[in-house]
Structure 1
Amino acid sequence: MAVGRRFGATRRTTTALLTGTIGFLSSVAVAVPVWAQQAPADGYFATPPPVDMTKLLPDSGQPDKKYKQSKGCVQRSTLGQNIVLKNRPWGQDYLQITKAQEIVKAATNGGVGRGVKVAVVDTGVTKHPWLPNLESGGEYVATPTNGQPKGLEDCDGHGTEVAGIIAAKPDNPEVGFIGVAPDATIVSYRQLSENYEPDTSTSTPPASNTAGGTPSSSTTPPTGSGSSLPPSGEGGGGSGSGDGDRTSPGQSNGGRQLEKAGTAGTLKTLAEIIRGIADRKSADVINMSVDNCRTATGSITEGEQQVQAAVHYAALAGIVVVAAAGNATDTCPQNDQPDARKPKTIVTPPWFADDVLSVGAIDQYGSVAPFSVHGPWVGVAAPGTQIISLDPAEGSRGLANLTFESGDKASEIQGTSFAAPYVAGLAALVKAKYPTLDAKGIINRIKETAQHPAAPGGRDNFVGYGVIDPVAALTQSLPSEIGNQAPIPPPQLAQLPPANDHSSTPMIVALAGTGGGVVALLITLFVMRTIRRNRPEEAASRR
């Protein structure tokens, strides 16, 4: 009975230990962040409601309200005026852009992206000698000054840098930077600006001396402006060090937010522009490095419905719609919550992933850029740090790699805003090489040839289907294009034996065997002790 009680106690103790161990391991498993895994196809806030095409707006072709300039426009820095940036951006080498361009040129017997139009819906695009194929699209911020064509003024400097990544074509052979599709045509739409604000006055505001005249290092922003112009008197740097022309005002993480208080640009005018492009067939690709970021509530706003209807309309019209995934800031929290289906932050237009290819950013080490907003809507990723592009200041003939965030603090140009044009440029290359591919086919080719992350289904919420691979996108033979479903990496499941949740026999047998061994050992020790006590020499010694 004593042995039986000990056996029962041993079994209970062992079971308790096993249960505790299993519980600990279970808690560790639960701690794995599911937001880093593939998002479900539907559920909660991550999936927008169905498209409501009654919200589709006609294109008015003009601003939705009256705006006035409130800050000085971007200008050339007085730092290092004669510096020429000769080094290639790391993103060009990482993506093998030169090789991709050679493939397209050989296949088309012509230019790289020639005949393809890319609409840049942004802060406008300033004329630049290294952006030869630039067309006016539309103006939705203010009346153009000095007879400038609509959309070809860029007070912020953001849209010009975006356009440069897509289609810049430097004529200096010593310069390493070049746009992804240098022979493509940029069609510019000025849709927003952080240097303009709603005009609530009844009188016409005075014209700014920076809005289109000759650039000057002594230009002063309007009274009451919060902008800071570049300081003078500091030394520049050599092109080899990466220091070069610097621009001002700054761009917080490279982003431009729609419907931000005190700025120009709404979801309504964005929706109108997209509709107009689709109706006029004025572009093959649309790049939107502009976002509206808000707290997820489980609902959708009217402006979001308008954009959702517009991007769906454009997709049906055969236009590739590309958008920046968004930048995490104090007002746009990162989606790092446990359940990917319940994001803290919703970003539009990327939210409408059925019709929009949204682009996250990676850094020069190949890691996800810390500012790149995560989410189930992320489609692919591209370089978004240490950006070099066209200097957006009026009258500039060079490049920029720095911007002023505040005062005299210079920082690198970065953001998902500059990852998106890499993808838009790639879409232009694919369109040029495969002219019969529709918009869906182009997007599928970019996704299927991306460098898939090690995640279930070959995608995650950081980089989507992976970092783009331009060479593969231009050369790989895809099963989906010949009527077969493209292979998707299957989940790698652990090959474990089946669980035995209902039978305790194996554990009982194991414990019984252990208990029997212990009993046998105790009996053996008892017998040996008894034998030693009965030896004659031991008995004599005791006497």
Structure 2
Amino acid sequence: MSRPHQTFLALLTTSVILAVNGMCTIPAYAENYQPPSVNRSLLPSGSITVRATQTSPCVNPVVSPALSAHVQTQQFHPLVDARPIWHLTRGEGQTVAIIDTGVSPNSRLHNIHGLGDFDSHDNGLHDCDAHGTVVAGVLAAQPDDDGFAGVAPAVRILSIRQTSDHYGVLPDTPPQKSSRHHQHAPERPEGTPGNVVTLAKAVRMAADAGATVINISQAACRPLGMDLGDGPLGAALYYAVHVRDVVVVAAAGNLTDECRVQNTIRPLSSTPVSQSDIKTVVSPAHFDDLVLTVGSVAQDGRPSEFSIAGPWVDVAAPGEEIVSTGKKGLVDAVQTPDGQISELQGTSFATPFVSGVVALVRSQHPDWNASTVMEHVKKTARPVAGGRNTQLGFGIVDPIAAVSNTSSTGKGNGEGLPFREPPMSPPHTTFSAILGMFILGGTIFAITRWRRARSHQIERGKGQY
């Protein structure tokens, strides 16, 4: 064999071996972090004990000056435009329970039913916070001439008001800190509104009422090592998924005054995520196998700064520049009684995009169980450059790929994001290694045959000359 041929064969063999090694490498994202164990004996009932009263005026959903131009240029969020598959399904036959601050019906939210209220003697169809109604609009608002619509406008909605920033305990009850984003069980007696115990009860209630999807745009957070008191919530989630066959979709949580520390989990490191990497734990998100946890992205597909990272994040969806519906039309902000206006943003509003996609998939594939649907939504997400990461999970949810049973091409706005993390492991590394060895052997055999054929051609050529 001549030196050039030897060099060529060596280089080719080396490249094939590197490819085989790449296929056999154990992925760095195979995290060491383990979700909390579930004690199923802690499953609560779905009963409601009302012990709260309204403590402050309600907020109003409003229109910001930029809304009209925003809607004209973006009638449906480009990252999760479900309209191309509406000819297949709009979510028919699916019931989505929204556990939130209640949902106030309006002209664009038709098929809504009140299931319960942990804040007052109501039925869940009064929203003092303008939060649950925004969530419902993103999920299921009916189309209109303005071009806006929810992801799955044909679903049936069950509303449970489980928390409110404007309701508190009665004077004879110990004080509590209330936040729809950060629900702290240890400070609150069982049965009061807005903690992880009442959230567990609401999950049980929704599952028993026939929900096929549960949307939880709420989160409780604690520094690692502090008790969240969410044992009953874990039991309720297990019951919903494995007994009642419900897909539960939950927010990743936002950085706020009560939840200040971001989980910066070495995005460029090849070291697996471990327990020591976690600074802030979020519930129900950290029950990773039982919920689809949703992070937030901006309009350009980049992770939102407020979105809490973690190994439990599964997918992402838009959580900024949110538009939804109100009693007087479209809204994109809320106004407090003192006149302050806040734009709609947060993982709370990214979550219903994913719940809508889940409803579309379940409508299209009614024979799939909850776990299959969850894995399918992750598998068909629009991938992020570098593979799964702790802010976007498997990528931005893709309704078209999810419903049409295709793998996302990654050619949407989320492709090529600079945020990188070690990729997930291929599921069958042994098979990949064997396949690589066959490729190597076949390559060497083909080169040997080529050299022999080439040698014969040269010899015949010499005879002709």
CA contact (8 A) 2:60 2:129 kept: no
Alignment of 1:373 with 2:314, yes or no, is no
Residues 155 and 84 of structure 1: CA distance in aligned 2, closer, same or farther (over 3 Å): farther
Deviation at 1:452, TM superposition (A): 2.2
Structure 2 matches for 1:208-223, cutoff 5 A? Answer: none
**Residue-by-residue CA offset, 1:24-47 (whole Å, 9 max, x unaligned):** xxxxxxxxxxxxx964443xxx42
CA distance in 2, matches of 1:78, 1:400: 5
For 1:259, give the aligned amino acid. H
The structure 2 residue matched to 1:157, chosen from 104, 127, 130, is 130
Deviation at 1:62, TM superposition (A): 3.4
The structure 2 residue matched to 1:95, chosen from 55, 80, 84, is 80
Q: Secondary structure at the match of 2:53?
A: strand
CA distance in 2, matches of 1:443, 1:325: 16
- Count of residues paired in the alignment: 369
Deviation at 1:337, TM superposition (A): 5.2
Residues 329 and 79 of structure 1: CA distance in aligned 2, closer, same or farther (over 3 Å): closer
Q: Secondary structure at the match of 2:316?
A: strand
For 1:349, give the aligned amino acid. P
Q: Secondary structure at the match of 1:87?
A: helix
Deviation at 1:89, TM superposition (A): 4.5
CA distance in 2, matches of 1:295, 1:266: 17
CA distance in 1, matches of 2:426, 2:405: 13
| 1:290 equivalent in structure 2 | 218
Q: Secondary structure at the match of 1:272?
A: helix
CA distance in 2, matches of 1:426, 1:190: 23
Alignment of 1:129 with 2:107, yes or no, is yes
| 2:375 equivalent in structure 1 | 444
For 1:476, give the aligned amino acid. N
CA contact (8 A) 2:53 2:169 kept: yes
| 1:334 equivalent in structure 2 | 262
CA contact (8 A) 1:295 1:346 kept: yes
| 2:183 equivalent in structure 1 | 258
Once the two structures are overlaid, the 10-residue window that deviates more, 406-415 or 50-59, is 406-415
Q: Secondary structure at the match of 2:403?
A: helix
The structure 1 residue matched to 2:352, chosen from 421, 424, 435, is 421
**Residue-by-residue CA offset, 1:177-231 (whole Å, 9 max, x unaligned):** 10000010110000000011111249xxxxxxxxxxxxxxxxxxxxxxxxxxxxx
Deviation at 1:287, TM superposition (A): 0.2
**Residue-by-residue CA offset, 1:369-404 (whole Å, 9 max, x unaligned):** 00000000001000110000012xxxx231111224
Residues 259 and 187 of structure 1: CA distance in aligned 2, closer, same or farther (over 3 Å): same
The structure 2 residue matched to 1:60, chosen from 34, 38, 47, is 47
| 2:245 equivalent in structure 1 | 318
| 2:156 equivalent in structure 1 | 185
Structure 2 matches for 1:338-357, cutoff 5 A? Answer: 338=266, 341-342=275-276, 343-357=278-292
Alignment of 1:47 with 2:34, yes or no, is yes
Residues 359 and 289 of structure 1: CA distance in aligned 2, closer, same or farther (over 3 Å): same
| 1:72 equivalent in structure 2 | 57
For 2:94, give the aligned amino acid. V
Q: Secondary structure at the match of 1:419?
A: helix
CA distance in 2, matches of 1:79, 1:196: 27
CA distance in 2, matches of 1:379, 1:420: 11
Deviation at 1:448, TM superposition (A): 0.5
CA contact (8 A) 2:80 2:353 kept: no
Deviation at 1:489, TM superposition (A): 11
Deviation at 1:273, TM superposition (A): 1.5
Alignment of 1:279 with 2:212, yes or no, is no
**Residue-by-residue CA offset, 1:97-148 (whole Å, 9 max, x unaligned):** 21132342xxxxxxx112110000000000111101101111111112xxxx
**Residue-by-residue CA offset, 1:16-73 (whole Å, 9 max, x unaligned):** xxxxxxxxxxxxxxxxxxxxx964443xxx423321111111111333xx11211111
Q: Percent identity?
A: 37
Residues 434 and 369 of structure 1: CA distance in aligned 2, closer, same or farther (over 3 Å): same
The unaligned stretches of length 5 or more in structure 1 are 1-36, 105-111, 145-149, 203-250, 479-485, 491-543
| 2:96 equivalent in structure 1 | 118
CA contact (8 A) 2:36 2:286 kept: no
Cα RMSD for the two superposed structures: 3.0
Structure 2 matches for 1:342-491, cutoff 5 A? Answer: 342=276, 343-391=278-326, 396-404=327-335, 407-455=338-386, 458-477=387-406
Residues 89 and 196 of structure 1: CA distance in aligned 2, closer, same or farther (over 3 Å): farther
CA contact (8 A) 1:340 1:375 kept: no
CA distance in 1, matches of 2:253, 2:321: 17
TM-score w.r.t. the length of structure 2 is 0.73
For 2:363, give the aligned amino acid. A
For 2:346, give the aligned amino acid. G
CA distance in 1, matches of 2:365, 2:40: 31
CA contact (8 A) 1:38 1:460 kept: no
Q: Secondary structure at the match of 1:114?
A: coil
CA contact (8 A) 1:89 1:386 kept: no
CA contact (8 A) 1:287 1:322 kept: yes
**Residue-by-residue CA offset, 1:151-201 (whole Å, 9 max, x unaligned):** 10100110000011111104x32x121000001011000000001111124
**Residue-by-residue CA offset, 1:291-339 (whole Å, 9 max, x unaligned):** 1111111x644x3111111101111021000000000123212112556
The unaligned stretches of length 5 or more in structure 2 are 1-26, 267-272, 408-424, 430-465
Q: Secondary structure at the match of 1:124?
A: coil
Q: Secondary structure at the match of 1:308?
A: helix
**Residue-by-residue CA offset, 1:419-443 (whole Å, 9 max, x unaligned):** 0000000001001111111111111
CA distance in 1, matches of 2:337, 2:427: 46
Q: Secondary structure at the match of 2:77?
A: helix
CA distance in 1, matches of 2:406, 2:321: 33
CA distance in 2, matches of 1:78, 1:116: 31
Deviation at 1:459, TM superposition (A): 1.3
| 1:13 equivalent in structure 2 | none
Q: Secondary structure at the match of 1:197?
A: strand
Alignment of 1:198 with 2:169, yes or no, is yes
CA contact (8 A) 1:268 1:306 kept: yes
CA contact (8 A) 2:325 2:331 kept: yes
Residues 365 and 85 of structure 1: CA distance in aligned 2, closer, same or farther (over 3 Å): closer
